[in-house]
């Protein structure tokens, strides 16, 4: 949703991420550089010696000396829009004619729709004569030519070729792409660099095929080794090729304009330069301090834009094209990531889910970087990465909220049965306690209110509920004081055990101490109730120690943490035989007390389910 609502923001982040990859790539896997491409810089030293507005005859001198040095082509990033001086202009025309491989620029205002601006007849005639008729499909989104600034026609006619040098930045103001052709009426007009690249590769316009949004194919191109091949240049919907920048300004070869003019006076130096630069393709541009023809690229904030054209040519000649991953493959990747995230969220715990998501994020980023650095493939890094991060955060937040709700529900449920310390431990690590049923020795207590059924028949439901609530609240508090577990409330009866779920070595002692305190508390409640006109509260308590099955028991739909076994039944039988207001314990419980609490033997009793009478003891209560 964020990418739909704010597409420009995320596209900008994606592009800036790719910019960082350019820098990283040049440190570990530099891009190829066609060393025949050089810059002839009108730099500060040239300006200081020649002045800023030096005469055109010096450009004529440059054509002459580079011809003698056997440069193969000279591309000017300077527009000579009109005549200035007859003598100097004539010298320049003669030099360009002799050279035969000079290229000059025109500037177009790049429009998304056909411009209605009228041109001068001479301009329109010239553009018509230099435009190309190309085999093209789906080029409706290509740029159209708008306002123009042309090289003066006499000079253009003597050049090897003329093309536009207009480029536009991405939304964030960075130069990353360059249009190779634009629409001009019902024809196409090539960029200066593209026109020259076609000349170098010996490709005629009728061998150029445009598939809008996909590629420009140069059929039967003649490459350096003399072989022929089709060169496929990836382009976007507007006809832009992504420039595969090779590095900072200093990465390419540079010669000062004034250095070449000075060398022209010495034939030995001319021959030395010829040895070094024979066959070179030179880009001539003003790079002196203070020029406006600079802009940001992935490597620099103020990059002379003549270097943009040189990098464009280098990308084409080295066939080192950057390709945006095809939409169908990218969608496949996104779907796979989404399925993995869904699988993680359903199958893994929060900690493992977070670690798996982080690993998935790292693997995707590493794969995306590797594809760019070693495979010249641009993959969106921000969209999937943020999707993983945001979805992980959303799932964890959702889990936290739902788990907290569940914990509160469990806490409310458990606090009725377990002491607070045990509840806390169970909520923090439920698997450590609420496990599969197991056999464990514990002490079980049953208590029951004497004649409650008879008393309740004379009470209203509200009185019954109020009395039981007050009674059970007091008894439960005592049970929890000694860290026991309330198994269940059986009408007016209470079932309690000690020694589980938290193991207690002294579970019998705890249970008996709790029973003594419960009887004492009941005496206090009885006095209070009698003063209020309620029934006289008295309870019986039976206690037994033995091995039982403890754990989650029940059906798949409803389970309960409880205890079962014959020793549980015995504790209940002891409660039935206990004296009113007293506590009856079994022989096993008596032995577990080891004399820590006073007890006296009682007559053995016969209980249901046992053939022989059992020994019992009564706890003495002060």
pLDDT tens digits, residue range 237-295?
Answer: 999 999 999 999 999 999 999 999 999 989 999 999 999 999 999 999 999 988 888 99
Helix (H, G, I), strand (E, B) or coil at 65: helix
pLDDT over threshold 70, residue 410? no
Phi-psi region of 247 (alpha: psi -120 to 50; beta: other; left: phi over 0): left
Instruction: Verify that 447 and 565 share a domain, yes or no.
Output: yes
Residues whose CB falls within 8 Å of the CB of residue 461, separated by 6 or more in sequence, listed in order = none
Say how far apart CA 304 and CA 308 lie, in whole Å. Answer: 8
407: its two tokens: 């914990």
Q: Over the chain, what is the mean pLDDT?
A: 89
Tell me whether residue 11 is in a domain: no
pLDDT at 422: 60
Query: What tokens does 445 get?
Result: 């207590």
User: Looking at residue 350, what is its pLDDT?
Assistant: 85
Same domain, residue pair 536 and 408:
no
Residue 229 lies in a domain: no
Residues 506 and 562 in one domain: yes
Same domain (yes/no): 516, 488: yes
Question: Domain range spanning residue 446?
Answer: 429-619
Same domain, 262 and 405: no
Confidence of residue 608 (pLDDT cuts 50, 70, 90): confident
Across 568-578, b (16+ Cβ under 10 Å) vs e yields bbbbbbbbeeb
pLDDT at 13 over 80: yes
* pLDDT value for 432: 52
Per mean pLDDT, which range of 43-52, 152-161, 218-227, 430-439 is the poorest? Answer: 430-439
Task: Pick the last residue of a domain from 296, 319, 342.
Answer: 319
The verdict on 387 and 285 lying in the same domain is no
Among 319, 338, 365, the domain-final residue is 319
Shared domain for 275 and 355, answered yes or no, is no
Query: Is 353 part of a structural domain of the chain?
Result: yes
pLDDT tens string 288-337 = 988 888 999 999 999 999 999 999 999 999 999 999 888 888 888 888 98
Q: Are residues 298 and 362 in the same domain?
A: no
Instruction: Find, among 180, 163, 167, 188, the residue nearest to 106 by Cα.
Output: 163
Please indicate, yes or no, if residue 90 is contained in any of the structural domains: yes
Contact assessment for residue 168 and residue 229, using Cβ atoms and an 8 Å cutoff: no
Which H/E stretch holds residue 536? none
Question: Of 297, 319, 341, which one is at a domain's C-terminal end?
Answer: 319
Please indicate, yes or no, if residue 596 is contained in any of the structural domains.
yes
**Where are any strands of DSSP class E within 287-420?**
294-295, 303-304, 323-324, 377-378
Q: Which pLDDT tens digit goes with each residue over 519-567? A: 999 999 999 999 999 999 999 999 999 999 998 888 877 778 889 999 9
Element (H, E) at 509: helix 507-531
CATH number at residue 519: 3.30.70.1230
Query: Do 607 and 483 belong to one domain?
Result: yes
What is the count of structural domains for the chain? 3
236 within some domain: no
pLDDT per residue as tens digits for the range 365-374: 999 999 999 9
497: pLDDT strictly greater than 90: yes
Residue 423 lies in a domain: no
What is the Cα 22 distance to its own chain's centre?
A: 20
In this structure, how many other beta carbons lie within 10 angstroms of the beta carbon of residue 45? 14
**Parallel/antiparallel/unpaired status of strands 102-111 and 161-164:** parallel
C-alpha dist (Å) from residue 207 to 132, 202, 395, 518: 11, 10, 55, 102
Same domain, 438 and 402: no
Q: Please indicate, yes or no, if residue 205 is contained in any of the structural domains.
A: no
Question: Are both 52 and 129 inside the same structural domain?
Answer: yes
User: In b/e form, how buried is each residue of 434-453, taking b as 16+ CB within 10 angstroms?
Assistant: eeeeeebbbbbbbbbbeebe
pLDDT at 414: 61
Q: Are 452 and 548 in a shared domain?
A: yes
- CA distance readout (Å), 329 to 14, 18, 336, 377: 18, 19, 11, 12
Given a cut of 80, whether residue 420 has pLDDT beyond it is no
In this predicted structure, which of 32-41, 366-375, 398-407, 408-417 has the lowest mean pLDDT? 408-417
With a cut of 90, say whether residue 349 has pLDDT above it.
no
Global confidence as pTM: 0.69
User: Of 32, 89, 39, 48, nearest to 306 (Cα)?
Assistant: 39
């Amino acid at each position: 949703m964020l990418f739909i609502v704010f597409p420009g923001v995320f596209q900008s982040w994606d592009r800036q991420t790719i910019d960082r990859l350019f820098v990283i790539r040049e440190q570990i896997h530099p891009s190829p550089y066609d060393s025949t491409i050089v810059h002839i810089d009108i730099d500060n030293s040239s300006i200081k010696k020649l002045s800023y507005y030096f005469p055109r005859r010096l450009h004529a001198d440059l054509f002459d000396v580079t011809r003698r040095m056997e440069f193969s082509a000279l591309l000017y990033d300077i527009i000579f829009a009109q005549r200035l001086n007859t003598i100097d202009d004539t010298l320049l025309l003669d030099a360009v004619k002799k050279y035969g491989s000079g290229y000059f620029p025109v500037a177009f205002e790049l429009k998304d729709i056909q411009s209605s601006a009228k041109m001068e007849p001479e301009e329109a005639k010239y553009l018509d004569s230099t435009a190309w008729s190309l085999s093209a499909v789906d080029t409706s989104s290509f740029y159209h030519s708008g306002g123009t600034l042309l090289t003066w026609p006499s000079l253009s006619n003597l050049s090897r070729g003329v093309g536009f040098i207009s480029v536009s930045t991405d939304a964030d103001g960075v130069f990353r792409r360059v249009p190779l052709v634009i629409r001009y009426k019902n024809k196409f007009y090539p960029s200066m660099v593209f026109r020259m690249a076609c000349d170098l590769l010996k490709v005629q316009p009728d061998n150029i095929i445009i598939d809008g949004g996909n590629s420009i194919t140069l059929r039967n191109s003649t490459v350096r080794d003399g072989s022929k091949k089709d060169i496929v240049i990836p382009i976007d919907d507007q006809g832009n090729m992504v420039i595969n920048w090779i590095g900072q300004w200093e990465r390419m070869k540079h010669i000062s304009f004034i250095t070449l003019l000075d060398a022209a006076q010495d034939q030995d130096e001319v021959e030395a330069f010829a040895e070094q630069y024979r066959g070179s393709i030179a880009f001539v541009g003003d790079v002196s301090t203070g020029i406006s023809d600079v802009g940001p690229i992935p490597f620099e904030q103020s990059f002379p834009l003549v270097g943009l054209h040189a990098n464009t040519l280098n990308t084409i000649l080295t066939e080192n094209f950057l390709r945006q991953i095809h939409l169908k493959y990218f969608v496949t990747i996104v779907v796979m990531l989404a399925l993995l995230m869904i699988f993680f969220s359903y199958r893994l715990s929060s900690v493992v889910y977070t670690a798996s998501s982080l690993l998935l994020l790292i693997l995707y980023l590493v794969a995306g970087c590797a594809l760019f650095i070693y495979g010249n493939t641009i993959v969106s890094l921000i969209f999937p990465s943020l999707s993983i991060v945001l979805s992980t955060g959303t799932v964890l937040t959702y889990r936290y909220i739902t788990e907290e709700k569940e914990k509160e529900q469990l806490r409310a449920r458990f606090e009725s049965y377990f002491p607070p310390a045990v509840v806390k431990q169970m909520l923090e690590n439920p698997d450590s306690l609420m496990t599969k049923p197991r056999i464990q020795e514990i002490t079980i207590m049953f208590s029951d209110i004497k004649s409650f059924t008879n008393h309740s028949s004379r009470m209203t439901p509200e009185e019954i509920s109020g009395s039981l609530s007050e009674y059970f609240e007091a008894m439960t508090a005592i049970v929890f004081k000694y860290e026991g577990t309330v198994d269940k409330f059986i009408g007016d009866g209470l079932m309690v055990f000690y020694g589980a779920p938290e193991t207690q070595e002294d579970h019998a002692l705890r249970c008996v101490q709790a029973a003594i305190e419960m009887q004492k508390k009941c005496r206090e409640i009885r006095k209070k109730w009698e003063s209020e006109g309620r029934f006289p509260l008295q309870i019986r308590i039976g206690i037994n120690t033995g091995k039982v099955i403890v754990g989650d028991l029940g059906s798949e739909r409803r389970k309960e943490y409880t205890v079962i076994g014959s020793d549980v039944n015995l504790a209940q039988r002891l409660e039935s035989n206990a004296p009113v207001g007293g506590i009856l314990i079994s022989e096993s419980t008596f032995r577990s007390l080891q004399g820590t609490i006073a007890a006296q033997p009682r007559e053995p009793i016969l209980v249901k389910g046992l053939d022989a009478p059992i020994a019992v003891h009564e706890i003495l209560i002060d």
